[in-house]
Structure 1
Amino acid sequence: MIVHDKRRYARLALLLILVAAVASGSTRAVVHAAVKVPDTIRVALFLNLGTKYQSLTPVATLQAAGGLNIVWRDPKYSLAIDAVPAGQAVRFAMDGYRALLLETTDLNAALVVLKKAQAGSSAAFVTQLSKSGKTVYQVQEGAYSTAAAASSALTKWTNAGVAAGVQTLLSARIAGPWAVEAGPYASLAEAKASAEAIGTAGLDAFAAIKPQNGAMAYVVRVGQEADPANLQALQQAVSAAGAAGVRVPAAGEPYVSLRTDMTYYGSANKAAVLYAIPSGAGAVLRADPAGAGGIQLAERSKRMYRGSMEMSVLNQSLAVVNDVPFEQYLYSVVGAEVGSRWPIEAQKAQAVAARTYAQSSGVGFQIANVVDTTLSQAYYGIGYENANSTAGVDQTKGEILTSGGKAISAVFSANSGGITADNPTEIWGGDGSNFASAVLSPDDGPQKGLLDWYYVALPSGQTGFIRSDLASASGQKHVSGANLLNVKGDGVAVRNKPQASTAEPIARVDAGTPVVQLGVVPEYTDYSWVEAPMTPDQLLAALNKRAKTPIAGPLLTLEVTKRGPSGRAVEVAANGVAVNVGAGDNLRGALGGLKSTLFQLEETGRYAIMGKDGGTRELPRQQGPVQAIGADGSVQQLQGPNLFIMDGSGLLRAATTTPRFVFSGKGFGHGLGMSQWGARGLAEQGYDYQSILLYYYKNVSIEKGA
């Protein structure tokens, strides 16, 4: 039942406990140690690691206010390629298989077909090249790893008629990465001129670069073949066109092909260079800023990033990694993770925790240390930096939390809901020696200054929430003994949870409407929350995505059967059978994406009814119609979805005739390690960052890395 949230601990008692715990745990000193904190960190912005992690893009578009320097990097060489002018875009993609939809001399016609393809794909391109003495434009879609996948895409686009009615110079076909090579040439300009000359024979020719004898070589790649079967005939055709040094390169030879791409600035009739990177050659292209300021990555919401960008192909997908100075990476992380106006000691605590977590990650993502999402820690580039976050990082430069001479995995969460979690029993299992288990945390900051909400019943039988400034006690009682409220004004919103939003409310009520108060709850925040009722089908689908043994429906009952030291749920039973979802923290996702596992569960369709014979029927296990005796003694069957009953304490309770499930809880995140809102609360009480860290992390030292 949803009732008024009485705080579990008196504020004075909580303060005294915190004072004792913080004071006893703090060494208030930073030890200089031999732990090496790296100068840079590699952050994956796009990466394909299969089931472990996937963040995919078919193309990466970069630009910088001061320009970019493009460099070839592989285990042997680091060679300069080109300088991109200030403000000009450059693009990178995988040289894979594509559906070639159209070739035309009409750029506007190509852009029309492009827009149609873009409605269903983020991997549509317009490529400009010279053929048969004309400038032509090819519309291609995809960056597929196999010809079969590209073939399926081609069938889809052809059936959709995206190029219908547009005159094309060739039939739609599969384009692929197989080509012959001509050259080498003395410069990129000579390679481009040769590509244009070869194109007069009606061949697809592109300048390309590759390392050769420790220097950058310039060649021409001719053809976009879906398989190597035609390469010998193509070699003869290229030789006949007058090209020198024509050969069939060995599979796996490193190269990068340069295309003239009209996609990104197509509407302005401007071209950008697109570097097409092969999937199996291990080539890495690096973009370094040529001047002050960061690099913009269009496909990451046009965010700006410090450091350099590295583009490669991993697992048949384009990979984009930001190689950034470690401390500058933390400027953005701290700025994204905590509020810019939070106390400096909270900023410093966050900086040390974030630095420690990143340090402990190693190369956790194959070619990167961390990713830019909260799977590691939030990192959104320069735009999320602020003066306070930067100060917090600078004032703790190099400091990390260690145990046994190594950086600990200093995980943290947004809000622990007033009490931290216990790792061995409640979260991921395993060692919990470096985390404060089930200790009180002053996390109620999000609630300060917010109004409570009334949980109410409407004359229609609906239940919902009205903000407390929009209704007041009438001084009258419902027949059940519950308070009646006066609604202030007309059109007052009734919400499905205690939170204002732009979505249309579930109902609106006018002044004079009798509204029954069922309870009072805090406003929905990261500290205290109530989720809208979930149906059995919604919960069953969510549970079966995580359950190791599928649950047979229908879902009638769901209850918490085990809790850990902090009160977090660690096991639930569906229809009386325990559900195994693995680690305890997996329950958040298994229950439809709850903010935390520190929750209570109300089954509104579960109750016992006494029959006329004195026996009881337990719903929903014992199903059947629900009947009630009216004030006049008549018996009638309840038809609507909602009903109201008196519970064992004599309080009016909202119930339903079919199963529904309401979750109400505390906190946001796993609750292990430092609570960010708790750190703010301690900082506001005057504690320094060392005391804060040593309250949430145990058996650790704060050391300044070498």
Structure 2
Amino acid sequence: MTKMNRRVALGTSAAVLLAWAGTDGQAANAALVPDTIRVGLFLDLGSKYQSTTPVATLVSAGGLGLSWVGGQGNADYPAPGGTVRFAVDAYRAMVLETADFSTAQTVLKKIQASSKAGFVTKLTKKGKTVYQVSEGVYSTATAAQSALAKWAAATGGQSSLTPAYVAGPLALEAGPYAGAGEASAAAVQLGNAGFDAFVAVKPSAEGTAYVLRIGSASSQAELTKIQAAVAAAGFTAKLPATNSAYAVIRDDVTYTGSATNSAPLYALPAAGGAALQADVQSDGSIQVVERSKNKYRGSMQISVLNNNLAVVNVVGLEPYLYSVVGAEVGSSWPAEAQKAQAVAARSYALAGGVTYQIADVVDNTYSQAYNGLGSENANSTAGVQATAGEVMTYGGKIITAMFGASAGGMTADPLEYAGNAIPYYAGAVKSPDDGIQKGKLDWYRVALDSGTVGYIRSDLLADKGQKNEAGLAMLTVTGDNVQVRPSPRVQSDVQPIASVNAGTLVLSLGKAPEYTNNSWVEGPLTADKLLATINAKLSDKNKIQGPLRTLEVSETGASGRAVRLKANGTTVQLYGDSWRSALGGVKSTLFKIDETARATIVGANGTSREVPDGGGTLQVLGGDGTVRSLDSAGGNAIVLNGTGQVRAITASPQFIITGTGYGHGLGMSQWGALGLANQGYDYKSILQYYYKDIKIEKDGAS
């Protein structure tokens, strides 16, 4: 998807997103525009939102420093080097322990072929360096035990210094120590005695306390045995306080792939509320490897939420928008379109407050596209800076400024989504979105002699005035090896359906714009596929019964968007954007459905028959006088309807969905904003065109 084509997703509850603050439009408290925003990169909020990773790797050329978050002590903990990793201190399948690094790497690669949670930890035991290969970040010992059985074959028969086992988060604690050096020396002593011992940091009144975590037990009984063994070896250790915050530091060689170049991995407890913040030690950015290696401004806060790692980027509001605007609209778009997008994006980001429990927004289209530094450009940054602090308000409250890529010529009416009008939306207004088609050629839908129906680009055909026996227009192919495409576009990953040479005559079934986010066609879609995707959105009692024979738009809203459909003659009720996924992921709900098997047949005796009706096959009388069964006529038959329009029909139900626009269509259309900017509208006029009765305020001042 290009930067221009990304859009804001409507989400699962239109009624929530379309709610507005205030009741009578009178001025309320001045809008507050904060300096920073919290962006969730990885979060687990259950059914509301879920984007998880078993490990997060942060990299900064300028080095990283860590500190505790939330009043847990404010002294920085300098992380060595510029790479730091984070995970949950949870249950793991301990697959192998070996003194041979290459063996550890071989086993790790087998695990990584099907798991993102493979780890190699380096530690000292009994006077030598060993490598522990583990898999998983599991919330229960039972889950880790199942994984252990799965990975038994990954060792390839390699001998292990210890039998495979389930490692857990239960450990003893020793210390505190005077510093990291003293704690590391104590870990070596315990390791030489045969114990797994790791330096850990804990928040304290002084900032950070250094302790040891001894053992990785998966049950209280195992921990009791470790405690007895540690005492028998002459070491002092105790059970840590329940639910205490800590971060155990493992010497991780997974990411570096080198026995001599490791990175610290901070494992945070599933409970206890521990949260660490990573900041660059000098100028620079923080790269998050697991987020497509994107680089970000600001700080990263790492914690555990619902047993999964949570990573939140705390960044300045305006720098956040540099990336959002750069991702949402084209870098070459005029300044007024950039400014309009900046104000809309700022308003949308702030309207919901802390929407995602520990984050205001997330970094994808559930909120707004945000890719860090990689999406920034000079024009988007200028647009943000020129409108710094400006938001749209209604009744003194910042509005949820919905926007999308293209409205398809007409924005949506809120009634089409929520059944409840919103004062600051204009409803259905014309939107100049056709700029997306600029420079693109039309395509002809054509039929070949074989009965194959597809698309050929208009510059590869010539109309020489030829007609067939039925008087229908025939077009002449002007080049050799001209590809017939299943839709009006060239797709490198979709094979052409036929190839024709110069001089070939093809039957014209009409002309269509090239497939874009403003004009598109999907299909033919099979009845079985659509039945499955529609029923997936319906409750058991409302599912469509039997095969899908007919599917039609039965009601549209003020903008022309589909509101209700009928399947097999029965109304199917879904709301808003649910129709898009129900129909296999179409770009918008501003569409029409061509039922390729749907027709009214008038017989020789004047009686009519509606098909499909399950009443047997149809016989087709061709222009040459031959009669064929439609089932065996190559899949398509070309017919004239009562008004003289030519049409391709099929024996079995198939559906072609033709539409305009990309996205929900509510609020501002980004391509429409470009069109208005090119007509001379400034950004405020653009915003007031798409959002009625709003004010544009800066820190509460009109």
TM-score (norm 1): 0.92
Q: Which residue of 1 aligns with 2:680?
A: 686
Q: How many residues align?
A: 669
Tell me, yes or no, if structure 1 residue 61 matches structure 2 residue 57.
Answer: yes
TM-aligned CA deviation for residue 202 of structure 1: 1.6
Matches within 5 A, 1:213-252: 213-244=205-236, 246-252=237-243
TM-aligned CA deviation for residue 494 of structure 1: 1.2
TM-aligned CA deviation for residue 602 of structure 1: 0.4
* Counterpart selection for 1:594 from 583, 586, 590: 586
Q: Which residue of 2 aligns with 1:569?
A: 562
SS of the counterpart of 2:337?
A: helix
Q: Distance in 2 between matches of 1:153 and 1:620?
A: 52
The 1:389/1:209 distance shift into structure 2, 3 A limit, reads same
Residues 575-624 of structure 1: CA distance to partner in whole angstroms, max 9, x if unpaired? 1111222x222111111111110001100011122345443332223341
TM-aligned CA deviation for residue 429 of structure 1: 3.7
TM-aligned CA deviation for residue 470 of structure 1: 1.4
Q: Which residue of 1 aligns with 2:197?
A: 205
Q: Which residue of 2 aligns with 1:456?
A: 446
Q: Which residue of 1 aligns with 2:470?
A: 480
Q: Which residue of 2 aligns with 1:557?
A: 550
* Counterpart selection for 1:492 from 482, 493, 497: 482
Q: Which residue of 1 aligns with 2:352?
A: 361
Q: Which residue of 1 aligns with 2:509?
A: 518
SS of the counterpart of 2:483?
A: strand
Q: Which residue of 1 aligns with 2:188?
A: 196
Bigger CA drift: 147-156 or 273-282?
Answer: 147-156
Amino acid at match of 2:545: A
Q: Which residue of 1 aligns with 2:457?
A: 467
* Counterpart selection for 2:434 from 438, 441, 444: 444
The answer on whether the counterparts of 1:422 and 1:432 sit within 8 Å (CA) in structure 2 is no
Bigger CA drift: 268-277 or 326-335?
Answer: 268-277
Q: Which residue of 1 aligns with 2:37?
A: 41
Residues 479-529 of structure 1: CA distance to partner in whole angstroms, max 9, x if unpaired? 232221121222211111111111221222122322111110000111111
Bigger CA drift: 358-367 or 619-628?
Answer: 619-628
Q: Which residue of 2 aligns with 1:174?
A: 166
Q: Distance in 1 between matches of 2:143 and 2:642?
A: 62
Bigger CA drift: 320-329 or 181-190?
Answer: 181-190
Q: Which residue of 1 aligns with 2:93?
A: 99
* Counterpart selection for 1:50 from 46, 52, 69: 46
The answer on whether the counterparts of 1:427 and 1:670 sit within 8 Å (CA) in structure 2 is no
Residues 335-356 of structure 1: CA distance to partner in whole angstroms, max 9, x if unpaired? 0000001010000000000111
Q: Which residue of 2 aligns with 1:114?
A: 108
SS of the counterpart of 2:536?
A: helix
* Counterpart selection for 1:156 from 150, 153, 171: 150
Q: Which residue of 2 aligns with 1:16?
A: none
Q: Distance in 2 between matches of 1:628 and 1:511?
A: 30
The answer on whether the counterparts of 2:72 and 2:204 sit within 8 Å (CA) in structure 1 is no
* Counterpart selection for 1:77 from 69, 73, 76: 73
Q: CA RMSD in A?
A: 1.7
Q: Distance in 2 between matches of 1:81 and 1:240?
A: 34
Q: Which residue of 2 aligns with 1:410?
A: 401
The answer on whether the counterparts of 1:571 and 1:584 sit within 8 Å (CA) in structure 2 is no
The 1:539/1:288 distance shift into structure 2, 3 A limit, reads same
SS of the counterpart of 2:552?
A: strand
Q: Which residue of 2 aligns with 1:19?
A: none
The answer on whether the counterparts of 1:412 and 1:675 sit within 8 Å (CA) in structure 2 is yes
The answer on whether the counterparts of 1:33 and 1:705 sit within 8 Å (CA) in structure 2 is no
Tell me, yes or no, if structure 1 residue 285 matches structure 2 residue 281.
Answer: no
Q: Which residue of 2 aligns with 1:3?
A: none
Amino acid at match of 1:118: Q
SS of the counterpart of 1:142?
A: strand
SS of the counterpart of 1:273?
A: strand
Q: Distance in 2 between matches of 1:550 and 1:544?
A: 5
SS of the counterpart of 1:283?
A: coil
The answer on whether the counterparts of 1:540 and 1:553 sit within 8 Å (CA) in structure 2 is no
Amino acid at match of 2:610: E
Tell me, yes or no, if structure 1 residue 320 matches structure 2 residue 316.
Answer: no
The 1:78/1:620 distance shift into structure 2, 3 A limit, reads farther
The answer on whether the counterparts of 1:331 and 1:389 sit within 8 Å (CA) in structure 2 is yes
Amino acid at match of 1:201: A
The answer on whether the counterparts of 1:33 and 1:703 sit within 8 Å (CA) in structure 2 is no
Q: Distance in 2 between matches of 1:588 and 1:38?
A: 35
Q: Which residue of 1 aligns with 2:16?
A: none
Q: Distance in 2 between matches of 1:671 and 1:106?
A: 59
Residues 172-212 of structure 1: CA distance to partner in whole angstroms, max 9, x if unpaired? 21111111111111111111111111011221111111123
Q: Distance in 2 between matches of 1:633 and 1:414?
A: 51
Q: Distance in 2 between matches of 1:547 and 1:75?
A: 47
Q: Which residue of 2 aligns with 1:20?
A: none
The answer on whether the counterparts of 1:402 and 1:701 sit within 8 Å (CA) in structure 2 is yes
Q: Distance in 1 between matches of 2:74 and 2:310?
A: 19
Q: Distance in 1 between matches of 2:69 and 2:629?
A: 76
Q: Distance in 2 between matches of 1:181 and 1:623?
A: 79
The answer on whether the counterparts of 1:454 and 1:468 sit within 8 Å (CA) in structure 2 is yes
Q: Which residue of 2 aligns with 1:141?
A: 135
Q: Which residue of 2 aligns with 1:265?
A: 256
Q: Distance in 2 between matches of 1:69 and 1:275?
A: 13
Q: Which residue of 1 aligns with 2:23?
A: none
TM-aligned CA deviation for residue 687 of structure 1: 0.8
TM-aligned CA deviation for residue 414 of structure 1: 0.7
Residues 426-465 of structure 1: CA distance to partner in whole angstroms, max 9, x if unpaired? 1234342111111111110100111000111112211111
The answer on whether the counterparts of 1:74 and 1:282 sit within 8 Å (CA) in structure 2 is no
TM-aligned CA deviation for residue 267 of structure 1: 4.8
Q: Which residue of 1 aligns with 2:11?
A: none
User: Which runs of structure 1 show a deviation greater than 6 angstroms over 4 or more consecutive aligned residues?
Assistant: none
Tell me, yes or no, if structure 1 residue 625 matches structure 2 residue 617.
Answer: yes
Amino acid at match of 1:241: A
Q: Distance in 2 between matches of 1:175 and 1:652?
A: 70
The 1:631/1:456 distance shift into structure 2, 3 A limit, reads closer
The answer on whether the counterparts of 1:73 and 1:79 sit within 8 Å (CA) in structure 2 is no
TM-aligned CA deviation for residue 268 of structure 1: 7.2
Amino acid at match of 1:657: A
Q: Which residue of 2 aligns with 1:380?
A: 371
The answer on whether the counterparts of 1:231 and 1:248 sit within 8 Å (CA) in structure 2 is no
TM-aligned CA deviation for residue 79 of structure 1: 3.1
Bigger CA drift: 670-679 or 226-235?
Answer: 226-235
The answer on whether the counterparts of 2:73 and 2:204 sit within 8 Å (CA) in structure 1 is no
* Counterpart selection for 1:297 from 282, 288, 295: 288
TM-aligned CA deviation for residue 214 of structure 1: 4.0
Amino acid at match of 1:626: L
Q: Which residue of 2 aligns with 1:541?
A: 532
TM-aligned CA deviation for residue 33 of structure 1: 8.5
Residues 8-44 of structure 1: CA distance to partner in whole angstroms, max 9, x if unpaired? xxxxxxxxxxxxxxxxxxxxxxx99832200100000
Residues 657-689 of structure 1: CA distance to partner in whole angstroms, max 9, x if unpaired? 101110111111011111111111111111100
SS of the counterpart of 2:382?
A: helix
Q: Which residue of 2 aligns with 1:604?
A: 596
TM-aligned CA deviation for residue 295 of structure 1: 0.6
TM-aligned CA deviation for residue 648 of structure 1: 1.9
The 1:232/1:632 distance shift into structure 2, 3 A limit, reads closer
Q: Which residue of 2 aligns with 1:351?
A: 342
TM-score (norm 2): 0.93
Q: Distance in 2 between matches of 1:472 and 1:32?
A: 64
Q: Which residue of 1 aligns with 2:690?
A: 696
The 1:165/1:146 distance shift into structure 2, 3 A limit, reads same
SS of the counterpart of 2:370?
A: coil
The answer on whether the counterparts of 1:43 and 1:322 sit within 8 Å (CA) in structure 2 is yes
Overall identity of the aligned pairs, in %: 56
Structure 2 gap segments, 5+ residues each: 1-26
SS of the counterpart of 1:319?
A: strand
Amino acid at match of 1:229: A
Q: Which residue of 2 aligns with 1:17?
A: none
Q: Distance in 2 between matches of 1:631 and 1:536?
A: 30
